[in-house]
Structure 1
Amino acid sequence: MNHAEPLVRFSGVQKTYDGEQLVVRALDLDIQRGEFLSLLGPSGSGKTTTLMMLAGFESPTAGDILLDGKQITRTPPHKRNFGMVFQNYALFPHLTVGQNVAYPLTVRKVPKAEQADRVKKALDMVRLTGMADRLPARLSGGQQQRVALARALVFNPQLVLMDEPLGALDKQLREHMQIELKELHRQLGVTFVYVTHDQGEALTMSDRVAVFNEGVIQQLADVEALYETPSNRFVAGFVGDSTVITGTLQGSGTACALQLPDGQRLPGLNVNHLAPGAPAEACIRPERIALHAASAAPQGPALRATVARAIYYGDHLRLMCDIGTGQAQATVKLPLTRADANPHPEPGDAVWLEFPTESVRIYALPTVH
């Protein structure tokens, strides 16, 4: 077996339910052994359909799915040997926690003595030691989700598929479970494929993220590349916060800039190789923008602005700034420290916003279907 070969390969996979609209358009995706891959995107983008085809609950209309280089496109779900965790837990209410976790082993005809040992290990792994005799109804949402996870891991699957498994939990519990899941992944070395529409969740947990929109992977990258170098306007807007400025592209190659309707220019990177004169949008992360008082002349490219709102977030101040007619407000994040002696900008203050050229990414406008 060649270890350079991906664990799973989607090759030219398409899916349509009505013969007309493609929910998944032309999917080529390699899933590497042991990675934590998230499929991220808005509702209807094709991410859950992709997971369901991998699980075997849906069949591709065209294309192939390979596991270890072998076709599994027609293999039924129960023969794929994948662990599954869904948002609704799907625990059997009349079975105890231990019986729920043992269920996949019973189906696989694992001897009773071995079952007990493996159930105990799985419950220890998700920190539910001693809970085997309880009924699911007596557990909290977070505990029920951990039982579902133990059940998915108990038979040592080579792949664990998760569909929005933390969706029903409150924010604090979700964040706690994200850290636990990531740690569990690190310990086990099992391949995780995780569907979510929550970009924060995808960034905190994944090794790589595939961003879906309209049935197509827009970008597949590790989390840092996804945040720092989005490959198109959709990804820039969907992952993280961005300040967006509209205008037309000027110049070519590395010396390009966005010309604003009022004649000002912002140098930046022409990500999608746009032709000069094309309508474009520049996106920049709010924490990359430097703020200067109106009296201090900035060194680099800058725009005059007026602070419209200042929102206190504890660790940073978020400023919404007006930068001229026809433009959306610019968001600027100012980190706050205890020793911050400088007076904070107030609504109505005139300021300069400085845009470092290497952080200004100029994109083609998103296409609307």
Structure 2
Amino acid sequence: MTTSTALVTFTGVQKTYDGRILVVRDLNLEIQKGEFLSLLGPSGSGKTTTLMMLAGFESPTAGEISLDGVPITRTPPHKRNFGMVFQNYALFPHMTVADNIGYPLTVRKLGKSEREDKVKRALDMVQMGHMGDRYPGQLSGGQQQRVALARALVFDPQLVLMDEPLGALDKQLREHMQLELKALHRRLGVTFVYVTHDQSEALTMSDRVAVFSEGVIQQIDPVDRLYETPVNRFVASFVGDNSVLDGKVTQASGDQCEVTLTDGTRLTGINVNKANTGDSVQCSVRPERIGLAASGGATNHLSAKVTDVIYFGDHLRLRCQTSDQPELSVKLPLQYAGQLREGATVNLHVPTEHLRIYR
């Protein structure tokens, strides 16, 4: 028998609300001890339902959820000993910050001195040690979110579940809190399961990301693999920026294939889904992987017209048009600032190893 480090295991889990449409279908997932796992996907993809089944607020229609090898599918939420953080914070307005954080300990009937010690430690953990006497109404959104996080951590849970907890914060604060959460996770070593529809948030914080669509995990991988090697069109388009070219396979050999675009341009790339000669395919490349090249008919070059040059502060973004194709996005270093103008014709190079071809 193989030993697993999985803390949580979903086996054949399904969920339907109306008996017809499966919101989650045949979910098999292992959540490892101590990892930061994000469940990423658009609205209605099944990610929040998965989290709610893990929390115990929803029951699976079929399948089993286990914690450390013990089934918990029929265990009520309050007996699962999980910390929860929601987008709306759910703080008690009439209670001080310290009392809000201490509430789970009061419910668990801990003694006063032990409770006070744990609350102090949790306040320090989220860098709010001096704010225990304040009320939620006196705090900013970011501070309220820290209190909600401290409350979820105060009773030393095995698992902390978060449902879009930073969604209500402004961009700068959200980005700051992402880094804080990641650092906190690293310090504590607690298992975090985090639901978001924001792909940059998932990439910034997670050890692994599970990408959901239509109730199915499309891909689950460490963030670099997810970004560099998407397994299908959906993941390629949903995670990160993506430039797309349509064409037909003219030659397939091993892991690579050659694609001819509508204007006759030929490109070679990675044959991800084993497309065959004659198949209509989509060629996908990250904008930062496309380079400018001297004109000439070298391998994997295509000619394009610049329709816009956008200055992003840390890079330039070109919007380019090639014949009968969707608009291409190209990301360039700032050394090209001032050299490229709208209307210019450029020669683009797409490296074979970064061009992924999907059926």
State TM-score, norm by structure 2.
Answer: 0.97
1:255-293: CA deviations, max 9, x gaps?
A: 412211222211111101122211110000011111135
C-alpha displacement at 1:60, in angstroms?
0.2
For the 8 Å contact 1:208–1:221, the answer to whether it is kept is yes
**Mean alpha-carbon deviation: is it higher for 342-351 or for 125-134?**
342-351
CA–CA separation in structure 2 for the residues paired with 1:282 and 1:79: 49
Partner of 1:324: 323
CA–CA separation in structure 1 for the residues paired with 2:256 and 2:194: 40
Q: Which amino acid aligns with 2:326?
A: A
- Once the two structures are aligned, what percentage of the paired residues are identical? 67
Partner of 2:45: 45
CA gap of 1:331–1:185, structure 2 versus 1, over 3 A, is same
C-alpha displacement at 1:248, in angstroms?
1.4
CA–CA separation in structure 1 for the residues paired with 2:37 and 2:83: 15
For the 8 Å contact 2:45–2:214, the answer to whether it is kept is yes
C-alpha displacement at 1:341, in angstroms?
7.4
**Secondary structure of the equivalent of 1:256?**
strand
CA–CA separation in structure 2 for the residues paired with 1:28 and 1:342: 48
Partner of 1:17: 17
C-alpha displacement at 1:4, in angstroms?
2.7
The alignment status of 1:305 with 2:300, answered yes or no, reads no
CA gap of 1:341–1:182, structure 2 versus 1, over 3 A, is closer
**Secondary structure of the equivalent of 1:148?**
helix
**Secondary structure of the equivalent of 1:268?**
strand
**Secondary structure of the equivalent of 2:127?**
coil
Partner of 2:278: 277
The alignment status of 1:171 with 2:166, answered yes or no, reads no
Runs of at least 5 residues in structure 2 that lack an aligned partner in the other structure? none
For the 8 Å contact 1:298–1:354, the answer to whether it is kept is no
For the 8 Å contact 2:39–2:210, the answer to whether it is kept is yes
**Mean alpha-carbon deviation: is it higher for 15-24 or for 4-13?**
4-13
Partner of 1:124: 124
Runs of at least 5 residues in structure 1 that lack an aligned partner in the other structure? 365-369
Partner of 1:367: none
For the 8 Å contact 1:292–1:298, the answer to whether it is kept is no
1:1-369 to structure 2, matched below 5 A, reads 4-252=4-252, 253-292=254-293, 296-297=295-296, 299-325=298-324, 327-336=325-334, 340=335, 343-364=338-359
CA–CA separation in structure 2 for the residues paired with 1:123 and 1:107: 19
CA gap of 1:210–1:342, structure 2 versus 1, over 3 A, is closer
Q: Which amino acid aligns with 1:246?
A: D
For the 8 Å contact 1:5–1:69, the answer to whether it is kept is no
Aligned residues: 357
For the 8 Å contact 1:162–1:195, the answer to whether it is kept is yes
C-alpha displacement at 1:212, in angstroms?
0.2
1:134-181: CA deviations, max 9, x gaps?
A: 110000000000000000000000000000000000000000000000
C-alpha displacement at 1:247, in angstroms?
1.2
CA gap of 1:255–1:36, structure 2 versus 1, over 3 A, is closer
1:76-133: CA deviations, max 9, x gaps?
A: 0000000000000000111110110000001111111100000000000000012111
CA–CA separation in structure 2 for the residues paired with 1:255 and 1:167: 41
1:314-360: CA deviations, max 9, x gaps?
A: 111100011112x1111110011xxx377421111111111111110
CA–CA separation in structure 2 for the residues paired with 1:206 and 1:47: 15
**Secondary structure of the equivalent of 2:219?**
strand
CA gap of 1:3–1:134, structure 2 versus 1, over 3 A, is farther
CA–CA separation in structure 2 for the residues paired with 1:88 and 1:250: 53
CA gap of 1:255–1:139, structure 2 versus 1, over 3 A, is closer
CA gap of 1:171–1:343, structure 2 versus 1, over 3 A, is closer
Q: CA RMSD, aligned part only?
A: 1.2
C-alpha displacement at 1:298, in angstroms?
6.1
C-alpha displacement at 1:300, in angstroms?
2.9
CA–CA separation in structure 2 for the residues paired with 1:237 and 1:344: 30
